[in-house]
Structure 1
Amino acid sequence: MNDLLYHYIDPAFNHLEVNSYKLLLWVGDKKFSLAVMHHNKLMVWRKPAPLAELTQAGEVQEVLNFKYHEVITGISSSYFTLVAQSVFNESQVKDIARYLDVAPTDTVYAQPLDAFNQVIFKAPETLIQAIKSFDVTQAVFGPSGWIQAVEANQPSADELYLNVNDDRIEIAHFDKGRLNLFNTFEFTHQDELAYYAVFVCQQLKLDLRTLTVKLSGDIAAGDERYQHLLQDIFGAVSLNTLAVATLPEHLPQHQLLALTALSLCASLADV
């Protein structure tokens, strides 16, 4: 395995034992990332890379083609809607999906987001083609694991959770331990990220001065531009150090949270 392609490879990784490993694959419109887990321990972490590499011959294909014990593929989509579990009816999926501007070549999914909500989302043909070597019918909504991980940590209503994925920001707020709001926004500059965070809080009538912002996702070590901007607006800002896997201390937990949390989504596609 080429070390230059990966942020981390555990010294104990053994390709002859991959039948006991789990592959976690996150895919977005432009990029993908992956992790290989042994039980709850991180064995491999792949650098974010262009989506096209998933279909190109090379080292990545070798790793993807191992016969893993389990593969969980998370799809990051900005075309989705949430429906409360208490009122969800599977017969409504086609009607609801029309609001997502579904094209004939798109794939539509309907599955639990967490214990209280269903999510209906679509994936374009280009993304489906990139992961076609896996069972695409078993793909899950990419942010589901991140949301479940935060919920399980009993989040406060005085906290706002932001997860950065390339040029997209995912924002979640929880009240009484349950998801109160989840949405995604495209952004090109940190000022836009701050704008959307404030916009969400205004919609929920939250007091910015009492809120703590928890940041995770694609934020490089030492990159504090988001913190510097947001700390002038909110009560406090910090990186989200919540861990759902056993990681080496030197790895940035906030970057791995959403990816490793896909392990919490194992049964979503089967429900």
Structure 2
Amino acid sequence: MSNNSILLINPNFEPTNSTNLSLLVKIGADTFSYAIVDIEHKLVHAVYDEQECDSGYEKLKERLKTDTYLKLDYKNVKVASHTKNIIFVPQELFNESDVALYTKFFADADSQNVYVQPSLQQNIHTIFSLPQSIEKVIDENWANSTKLQQNAGLVELATKIDTDSIIIDFTVGSFQLSYIRDEKIAFTQSYQFEDVDELTYYILLITTQLSIDTKKTDIKTCGIIHEGDPKWDLLSQYFNKVDLLAVSSDLDTNILDDMPAHYYTSLLSLLQCG
């Protein structure tokens, strides 16, 4: 494994029992991670996470060649992937009979399938497609997998928030942001940044262009961030309330006890996605 990766394993994990387990895979622009979960017994068996990848897509291909855990036969597999082809449509504006209309806003034409992913509350539909090359890799390895967009889990968490808030999921060199206003996702986007100065630029740009009232908007953040680090201090400088966002569930996550609970919020929240 690389110096930027970590693999946490339950010592009682039996790979031969994989047909009773679920695999969650998350492919970011510059990250790759997965979790192996026993839903019936509410137990997380394994978590793998790698930061600062040149490409999350290429890292998936590399890990499939060397990581035996990814090649096991699972009961079900969910793959949440980074994509430039994505749009969020509120329920009241969604037209099921004309999904092709929304693909006009996609950045890339290199895709064959268009996916419509309604939130559990049915108040927002995520419409997305994946690059043909990465979809082929997913289908060859997990033919019956459920395909999701990268931040599907955070979207589900966002739909449960009843105050104006911004959810920010940090990796080492990027962040995914969703702005909730009037209990709806008003804006979502991903950014890569080199340092706190560049992060400051993006935060100020977003708040200015969207006319966000920083005094009345909460920040809920997860991923690679700590209380008191430069990213935390930056957010605290501009917003009145900054909290860490961890998944609230009855999962046994003992293997993560030595890690901050909010590190894997976006990965484990994929469990609630259909």
TM, length-normalised to structure 2: 0.81
Residue pair 1:172, 1:179 contacting (<8 A) in 2 also: no
Aligned to 1:48: 50
Structure 2 gaps of 5+ residues are none
Letter in 1 for 2:163: S
Paired-residue identity, %: 20
Whole-angstrom distance in 1 between the partners of 2:131 and 2:173: 18
Structure 1 residue 162, shift from structure 2 partner: 0.8
Residue pair 1:26, 1:32 contacting (<8 A) in 2 also: yes
Residues 98 and 78 (structure 1), Cα distance of their counterparts in 2 relative to 1, 3 Å cut:
same
Structure 1 residue 135, shift from structure 2 partner: 3.0
Residues 251 and 166 (structure 1), Cα distance of their counterparts in 2 relative to 1, 3 Å cut:
closer
Structure 1 residue 14, shift from structure 2 partner: 0.8
Partner residue of 1:214 out of 205, 220, 231: 220
Whole-angstrom distance in 2 between the partners of 1:136 and 1:204: 39
Partner residue of 2:124 out of 117, 126, 132: 117
Partner residue of 2:156 out of 128, 148, 154: 148
Is 1:239 the counterpart of 2:241 in the alignment?
A: no
Is 1:79 the counterpart of 2:93 in the alignment?
A: no
TM, length-normalised to structure 1: 0.82
Residues 136 and 21 (structure 1), Cα distance of their counterparts in 2 relative to 1, 3 Å cut:
closer
Residue pair 2:77, 2:145 contacting (<8 A) in 1 also: no
Letter in 1 for 2:202: Y
Whole-angstrom distance in 1 between the partners of 2:144 and 2:110: 17
Residues 84 and 221 (structure 1), Cα distance of their counterparts in 2 relative to 1, 3 Å cut:
closer
Letter in 2 for 1:148: E
Partner residue of 1:254 out of 257, 262, 265: 262
Structure 1 gaps of 5+ residues are none
RMSD value over aligned CA atoms?
A: 2.9
Whole-angstrom distance in 1 between the partners of 2:36 and 2:104: 36
Aligned to 1:128: 135
Structure 1 residue 220, shift from structure 2 partner: 5.7
> Residues 124-163 of structure 1, C-alpha deviation per residue, up to 9 Å, x if partnerless?
23432442312377301221212213433x4422x32111
Whole-angstrom distance in 2 between the partners of 1:112 and 1:166: 30
Structure 1 residue 53, shift from structure 2 partner: 4.0
Whole-angstrom distance in 2 between the partners of 1:119 and 1:93: 11
Residues 223 and 42 (structure 1), Cα distance of their counterparts in 2 relative to 1, 3 Å cut:
farther
Residue pair 2:225, 2:231 contacting (<8 A) in 1 also: no
Aligned to 2:7: 7
Whole-angstrom distance in 2 between the partners of 1:66 and 1:198: 45
Whole-angstrom distance in 1 between the partners of 2:211 and 2:25: 36
